[in-house]
Amino acid sequence: MVTTRKKRVAMTEKLKKDVFMACVVRVSREILPYGSFTAVGETHKIHPRTVANLWYSTLKQIPGYQPNTPLDPVSLLANVPETAFTTKFENSGRNPKHDRDMLLQEIKNIDPTARRTIRSLAGAVGIPVMTIWRMKQSKKLKVHTMALKPKLNDDHRLNRLFHCIAKIDKNTINSVAEMTFKRMYNEIHIDEKWFFLVRDGLRCIVTQDEPPPKAISVSHKSHITKVMFLSALARPRFNHTTRQEFDGLIGIYPVGEIDMYVRASHGHQPGDLKWCNVNMDRDLYRDMLFNFVLPDVKKMPIDNNIILQQDGAKAHLPDDDPLFAAKVTELFGDPTAVKLYTQPAQSPDLNVNDLGFFNSLQSRYYQTAPKDGLELIEMVEETYKNYPAKKLNRIWLTLQSVMNQVINQRGDNDYTIPHMKKKVLERQNQLPLSLDATKGRSSDEEDGEYVLSRLARNLQMSSGLGVSAIQHRNNNRGKKHSRTRNENVSTIKNDEPPLPLPSDDVEALLSLGLYLVGFGETRQGSSIIRMRRFRAFFGVGPKAIKSIHDDLNRKGHKVTSDKLLYGNELAVYLRYGACIVGAGPFPASRHDITTLRGEDDPGKGLIDQIPDGMRGIGDSAYRSEPTKMSVSQRGDGLEVKKFKARVKARQETLFSRLKAFNILNHAFRHGFDAHKQCFEACSVAVQFNCRTTTA
């Protein structure tokens, strides 16, 4: 007689709870009656001993339970822990032969080129392949794809950083809420893309007993039919004028022409139509903009201040192309209605097309099966037409998250796009129209040092206004303006109002902690600029503004025709650490009073920035302006002398830090404009360090 073994019942978490509840229900007179384990076991088709083991093991986990004590059903149910019926066994099974922590540490020390596959990694570590596979299945290892990225130099990083900073909405700089990026509703991104008839390495899912699909044969991989398209995208939004949704799809246009076959061949007859690709040059690009893109731009809900962003390909038009401006005037009646803008070089991640749209559109297109170039064009256009507007809007938000990463990485492209869960936010109707701008903190920064405080030292050039727009939140949120160690002056009180400024715009930007006003560069002599001295105009409080200069290495410096000394003029309101105005570069031979008066540009000198009724503090070079400047005199009292000494010490603190930037102590070969930006950036970093450190 053959006996069959009874199938073992899996003790799931639900079954354990049901068995325990059945036992609790049977409690009578503060005890569990005899035969309860057998009755419960028969009901749930498990052995009575299993019921008993579960009952006693659960009672031991109840806090305060003592054996052989009266049972209270209500107390049992209220105090039983949630983990009493868990089915997870963390420490079960045999111990692994290889310590996982040691393996992970050893794997980290192996060169990435030796761990491209599971087999190569197992060989490098010297363990079985199955061990690596199990570690991957347990989430201890993951596969990372190393994508090729454009190589960047300092100029590329600088331009990328400027581009991203310029995308911050200026209206949110002084708002109570966070700074945010512009909504980019006036931008159109255009770019070219090749679409192939077939591609190598296509995947498909087949059943176990199904033969694989027939392989696609081509004469050579370089002979695969392909078509170039010019794509133009805007951001989707609701058009309040037409009360309709604008999908953001301006258009996608094939680059080429339709021709006819002359001779019969396999697959076609004489007279059949075919598609012929042509090389994209500047004339063809201009014609496509004039005949296709610009007429379709009228789909936009707005008709002015539209920016057409393109990459810097040689075939593309310059930003100031006169023919383009004439065509815009013809179509829109205003030459500034649509402007060309060339994105930073080596920056495909700053264009919506390259960032995600082309890949997404290509994956949708490959689900079709075109047979020739004309069908390829038809299916690409159909796929483009049916592209979801919500998905395109998410790509525009991804672009803003990318710009945050570019700012954090000081313009570099070595970053990972953060996951925002945009689909979840979209379902909850919480998807933002624009993202908060980064606070400028990099993930690998030490001691909380911000990116912008080291910008000039790392990139050697920057923009004062753009930098201030990013860093003002870190400087001003939730705290009073800090002082440096040299600013402990008894004559300055916390309740003194800020220095009034003649311009409302300057006053508004002063709240950021920085504003540098351009005075126009003096183009004299060579463009090789050697910074060996600085001129500075400093303010201490509403009743005192100090104007002095540092003549470091002034004497004994030989000025030649190819190496001219140039200086800069700053105005810094040191109570708040705010750079109010800046002038330069100008020849070092220029007199202090000439710069103060702004004789080459009347009305814009530093003296015009001093409010009426107030005077600055300067040395004897400023005696000729007694109504605006106060100089040291023999009749000054002791307190006045001490006060002016503190003012000078405060200025020296900032100057000593400004000199630490080696870029200002050597020949600067990038021209006047770049030098001005560099000097402003150094001033930003010095100002920030003075306000946030005490050394």
Cα–Cα distances (Å) from 394 to 180, 249, 558, in that order, read: 16, 14, 60
Examine the domain organization and report whether 380 and 519 are in the same domain. no
Residue 613, pLDDT score: 61
CB 411, CB 157: distance < 8 Å = yes
Alpha-carbon distance of 681 to 175, in angstroms, equals 24
Alpha-carbon distance of 538 to 533, in angstroms, equals 16
* pLDDT exceeds 50 at position 452: no
Tokens at 278, concatenated: 């042509």
Range of 113-127, 234-248, 475-489, 529-543 with top mean pLDDT? 113-127
Tokens at 568, concatenated: 């800069």
* pLDDT exceeds 70 at position 580: no
Examine the domain organization and report whether 530 and 665 are in the same domain. yes
Residue 91, pLDDT score: 61
* pLDDT exceeds 80 at position 511: no
Three-state SS for 659-682 is: HCCHHHCCEECCHHHHHHHHHHHH
Give the residue-averaged pLDDT of 497-523.
Answer: 29
State which H helix or E strand residue 641 sits in: helix 638-659
Residue 356, pLDDT score: 92
Could you tell me the residue range of the domain that residue 115 belongs to?
Answer: 100-137
pLDDT band at 525 (very low <50, low <70, confident <90, very high): very low
CATH number assigned to the domain comprising residue 348: 3.30.420.10
Alpha-carbon distance of 407 to 451, in angstroms, equals 8
Give the residue-averaged pLDDT of 319-347.
Answer: 94
pLDDT tens for each residue of 151-206: 999 889 888 988 988 898 878 765 656 788 999 999 999 999 999 998 888 888 89
Phi/psi at 30 (5° precision): 65, 20
Q: Is residue 217 included in any domain, yes or no? A: no
Examine the domain organization and report whether 104 and 79 are in the same domain. no
Q: Is residue 426 included in any domain, yes or no? A: no
pLDDT band at 527 (very low <50, low <70, confident <90, very high): very low
Residue 662, pLDDT score: 57
Residue 491, pLDDT score: 29
Q: Is residue 211 included in any domain, yes or no? A: no
Sequential DSSP letters for 99-157 = -HHHHHHHHHTS-GGG-SSHHHHHHHHTS-HHHHHHHHHTTSS------------HHHH
Range of 123-127, 442-446, 504-508, 683-687 with top mean pLDDT? 123-127
Residue 72, pLDDT score: 85
Examine the domain organization and report whether 115 and 41 are in the same domain. no
pLDDT tens for each residue of 29-65: 888 889 999 999 999 889 999 999 999 988 888 888 8
Question: What rounded mean pLDDT belongs to the chain?
Answer: 74
Q: Is residue 685 included in any domain, yes or no? A: yes
pLDDT band at 340 (very low <50, low <70, confident <90, very high): very high
Lowest mean pLDDT among 75-79, 316-320, 392-396: 75-79
Question: Last residue of a domain, which of 85, 111, 126?
Answer: 85
Task: Identify which has the larger pLDDT, 4 or 560.
Answer: 4
Residue 175, pLDDT score: 61
Examine the domain organization and report whether 48 and 184 are in the same domain. no
Examine the domain organization and report whether 65 and 112 are in the same domain. no
pLDDT band at 467 (very low <50, low <70, confident <90, very high): very low
pLDDT band at 541 (very low <50, low <70, confident <90, very high): very low
Q: Is residue 189 included in any domain, yes or no? A: yes
pLDDT tens for each residue of 648-682: 666 666 666 666 665 555 555 555 666 666 776 77
Examine the domain organization and report whether 334 and 239 are in the same domain. yes
Examine the domain organization and report whether 25 and 121 are in the same domain. no
* pLDDT exceeds 60 at position 490: no
pLDDT band at 306 (very low <50, low <70, confident <90, very high): very high
pLDDT band at 451 (very low <50, low <70, confident <90, very high): very low
pLDDT tens for each residue of 5-27: 666 777 888 889 899 999 988 88
Q: Is residue 398 included in any domain, yes or no? A: no
Residue 556, pLDDT score: 33
* Total number of domains in the chain: 4
Question: Last residue of a domain, which of 369, 387, 405?
Answer: 387
Residue 208, pLDDT score: 86
Q: Is residue 541 included in any domain, yes or no? A: yes
pLDDT band at 442 (very low <50, low <70, confident <90, very high): very low
State which H helix or E strand residue 584 sits in: strand 578-587
Phi-psi region of 590 (alpha: psi -120 to 50; beta: other; left: phi over 0): beta
Residue 495, pLDDT score: 33
pLDDT band at 574 (very low <50, low <70, confident <90, very high): very low
* pLDDT exceeds 90 at position 381: yes
Range of 513-517, 567-571, 596-600 with top mean pLDDT? 596-600
Examine the domain organization and report whether 115 and 19 are in the same domain. no
Alpha-carbon distance of 284 to 516, in angstroms, equals 43
Question: Last residue of a domain, which of 346, 370, 387?
Answer: 387
Phi/psi at 209 (5° precision): -100, 15
Phi/psi at 414 (5° precision): -90, 85
* pLDDT exceeds 50 at position 461: no
Tokens at 471, concatenated: 């860093």
Residue 199, pLDDT score: 84
Give the residue-averaged pLDDT of 595-619.
Answer: 69
SS3 percent helix, strand, coil of the chain, rounded to 5, is 40, 15, 45
Strand partners, 545: 539, 616
pLDDT tens for each residue of 279-292: 999 999 999 999 99
Examine the domain organization and report whether 229 and 114 are in the same domain. no
Lowest mean pLDDT among 135-139, 211-215, 235-239, 638-642: 638-642
Q: Is residue 622 included in any domain, yes or no? A: yes
* pLDDT exceeds 80 at position 561: no
pLDDT band at 424 (very low <50, low <70, confident <90, very high): very high
Sequential DSSP letters for 332-364 = HS-TTSEEEEEPPTT-GGGSHIIIIIHHHHHHH
Alpha-carbon distance of 383 to 627, in angstroms, equals 73
Examine the domain organization and report whether 663 and 526 are in the same domain. yes
Lowest mean pLDDT among 37-46, 156-165, 447-456, 621-630: 447-456
Examine the domain organization and report whether 60 and 114 are in the same domain. no
